[in-house]
């Protein structure tokens, strides 16, 4: 049984680490969560002008997917009644639904996009697309696997893959299933106008 309370708004919570503490992400996240719980849970040390129960729902993003279990368990340890709902993205053993396995984010966005195309009378196979997020990631790989458009460019952490005639769909699907960066795209499957620029390339000429 899933939680019935679905927040209709939200915002990003960012933790900015100094250059000499880039390896302290998990510790910083734990302190961040503790600080949030300090504000959410009743305490004689806090002055509460709101006088109402407040609940936050935390969702994983860059660098925090692996600590959602910890945050939920820690909220329980701190006595939060809402600990099960405190984080999404937990493992199935903790009552979570793996977003990447079911492509939940990708599918919800695609419902919106396909609805727009239907309203405008457009055929997806005739649409060109530039995709940010490559075949190595959750969202990028799921988008490649379920889309039918003409993808002309993919930008990921490794570089930029481009072909004005459309990137070879079979090759994109192969990379998506293997969760590999665009740099592993078989260059023989690019048209004469296609190219790839890696983030490590420098001083390139035509």
Residues labelled catalytic: 12
Structure tokens at 49: 């002008």
Strand order from edge to edge, sheet including 128-132: 128-132, 150-156, 159-162, 195-198
**Shortest CA distance to 140 belongs to which of 98, 164, 173, 171?**
173
- Cα separation, 100 vs 146, whole angstroms: 13
∠ CA 143-147-151, nearest 5°, is 90
Instruction: Give, in order, the Cα–Cα distances in Å from 134 to each of 72, 106, 152, 167, 177.
Output: 30, 13, 13, 13, 12
**Shortest CA distance to 168 belongs to which of 147, 192, 151?**
151
SS3 state at 87: strand
**Shortest CA distance to 15 belongs to which of 1, 2, 27?**
27
Entry field: residues in the chain: 206
């Amino acid at each position: 049984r899933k939680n019935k309370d679905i927040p209709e708004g939200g915002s990003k919570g960012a933790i900015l680490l100094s250059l000499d503490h880039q390896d302290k992400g998990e510790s910083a996240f734990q302190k961040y969560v503790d600080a949030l719980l300090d504000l959410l849970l009743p305490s004689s040390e806090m002055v509460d002008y709101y006088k109402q129960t407040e609940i936050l729902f935390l969702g994983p993003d860059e660098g925090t997917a692996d600590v959602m279990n910890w945050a939920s368990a820690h909220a329980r340890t701190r006595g939060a009644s809402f600990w099960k709902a405190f984080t999404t993205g937990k493992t199935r053993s903790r009552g979570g639904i793996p977003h990447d396995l079911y492509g939940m984010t990708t599918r919800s966005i695609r419902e919106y996009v396909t609805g727009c195309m239907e309203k405008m009378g457009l055929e997806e196979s005739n649409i060109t697309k530039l995709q940010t997020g490559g075949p190595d990631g959750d969202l990028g790989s799921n988008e490649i696997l379920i889309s039918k458009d003409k993808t002309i460019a993919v930008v990921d952490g490794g570089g930029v893959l481009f072909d004005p005639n459309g990137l070879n769909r079979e090759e994109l699907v192969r990379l998506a299933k293997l969760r590999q960066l665009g740099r592993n795209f078989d260059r023989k499957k690019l048209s004469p106008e296609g190219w790839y620029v890696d983030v490590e390339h420098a001083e390139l000429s035509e």
